[in-house]
Amino acid sequence: MLKILILIAVGYFGFRLIKSAMIRHFQGLQQSMNAKAGDIEDVMIADPVCGVYFPKRSGVPLIENGKTLYFCSTECRDNYLRDKKIREEQNTRD
């Protein structure tokens, strides 16, 4: 009889430990997910081509020299790349 009681007690505490560990694990996941989404959502940045402000999250990214630039549309990104090419060609001509 005592063996059964010990088994039940061990099983009960074991279950509680696993449950609380899982809850902590999922809460941590949720918090890190919220922090990431919040970071991007809150940032408003200006398009370097047309100067329009837009949320970074909906921007069109372009990685240049290890830095990420964001544009309001693919059109502005393409304009930026075209202007950059023209500038580079002018520089090599001088």
Q: Which residues bind Zn ion (CB under 5 A)?
A: 47, 49-50, 52, 72, 76
Nearest distance, CB of residue 54 and Zn ion, angstroms: 8
Q: What is the DSSP letter of 81?
A: H
In the complex with Zn ion, the residue whose CB is nearer, 15 or 83, is 83
Amino acid at 64: E
In the complex with Zn ion, the residue whose CB is nearer, 31 or 74, is 74
Nearest distance, CB of residue 52 and Zn ion, angstroms: 5
If DSSP codes are grouped into helix, strand and coil, which group holds residue 61? Answer: strand
If DSSP codes are grouped into helix, strand and coil, which group holds residue 62? Answer: strand
